[in-house]
Amino acid sequence: MSTLVTGGAGFIGSHTCVELLQRGHEVIILDNYSNSSPLVPGAIRQVSGQDVSVYEGDVRDTQLLDQIFSTHQVDAVIHFAAKKSVRESGDMPLEYYGNNVGATISLLEAMLRHDVHKMVFSGSCSIYGGQYDEPISEDWAPGPTNPYASTKLICEQIIKDAWRRWPKLSVVSLRYFNPICAHASGLLGEDPKGIPSNVLPYMLQVAVGRLPRLQVYGGDWETHDGSGVRDYIHVMDLAEAHCLAMEHLGEEVGLRAFNLGAGEGVSVLQLIAMVEKVTGKAIPYEIVERKFGDVAILIADPSRVEKVWAWRTSRDLETMCTDAWRFQSRYPNGYG
C-alpha cells in the first residue's frame, strides 16, 4: 500500500511510519512540525532502513494536498495531524477547532477529489469524559470535558456524515487511551516542544535534569491513592494496531471505532514508582491543583478489538518505562 500519514513526524505517527515501512508500505509524510522535529524523518529512515517521502506543510493547505495526491498513487490515509493538549485547548479553543476539525474536513475533501476512500483516524479516549470509573466500551455515551476531546468527537461525526454522502468511505477510528514510551532501539521517541503536557515525558525530563520536579495535577481524586488513573499503552503496540487497521480497511464501509488500551489502570503515583525503579533516580514531585478538563479515571475495555481482530497489547508497564528511558537517556535534550 501507498499510505499518506498526516502528522507522520509526531510521536505516534513516527513510530507508525516505521512499522508501515517494515511491512512493505510506501509512506508519504505530511507534517508542519508544530509539535515535532524536522529531524524525525531521518530517525525513521535510520530505524526502518527504508526511505520515506516527506512534505512540510499544513493539512488545511488544499493545493499541497492535491499535489501529494497527484504525485503519489495514495491507497489510504492515516490521519494523526492535530493539536492534542487538554489544558492548551481550554486556553485556545478556536485554534483547536480550526486546526483539528478544519484539517479533517480538508483531508476528507481531498481524498474524495482523488477517489481515495480509506482512512485510519486518530481518535481519543478523551471523548468519554470523566463519567465512568470502570473499563469503557466503545458503545458507551461520550461526554467530552474539554475542547480537544470535543474536536475528536466532532471529527468522528463528520466522518459519519461524509459516509452518508459518499457510501464507499471506509474509516477506522482508533480511540487511544494513554500512549507512552519509545522505539526499543532508543533512536525514536517522544520529544515534545516546551514543557511536556504528558506525564511520562515530564517525569523523564525530571530524571535527566531538564526540569526540577514533576507537577501532579490533583491529589484528591476518587482513586485508591488520590492521583489520576490512566490506561497506558506502548506506542509500538499502537503502531502495530494501526497497521492491522490498514489491513482491515475496506471490509466494511462507514465508521468503525475501537478502543486501544491494556484494560488496566495505573495511577500517577504508581507510574512515578515504576520510573524510579527503571531509571534508578528519584522523581521529586509536588501535588498542585487539578488541570482544566482532566478526569479521575480512564480505562479501556479492549475486548472489541480482541474479538474482531484477535489483537491485544503485548508490552507491560516496566517495558514501556524502560524503552522510554532508553530514548531519553540517548537524547537528554531531545532530537535537537
Catalytic residue positions, numbered:
148
Q: Give the C-alpha separation, 30 to 12, whole Å.
A: 14
Assess contact for 74 and 3: CB atoms under 8 A: yes
Choose among 1, 27, 32: nearest CA to 16: 27
Pairing of strands 229-230, 266-267: antiparallel
Return phi, psi of residue 323, to 5°: -65, -40
Q: Give the C-alpha separation, 313 to 262, whole Å.
A: 6
Beta bridge partners of 288: 217
**One-letter amino acid for residue 31 of the chain:** D
Assess contact for 87 and 293: CB atoms under 8 A: yes
Return phi, psi of residue 6, to 5°: -80, 140
Q: Give the C-alpha separation, 114 to 254, whole Å.
A: 18
**Which residues have CB under 8 Å from 76's CB, separation 6+?**
1, 2, 3, 4, 116, 118, 119, 120, 246, 249
SS3 call for 308: helix
Here the cell at position 30 is 505530511
Q: Give the C-alpha separation, 325 to 261, whole Å.
A: 21
What is the DSSP secondary structure assignment for residue 166, as one 8-state letter?
S
Burial of 108-122, coded b for 16+ CB within 10 Å and e otherwise, reads bebbeebebbbbbbb
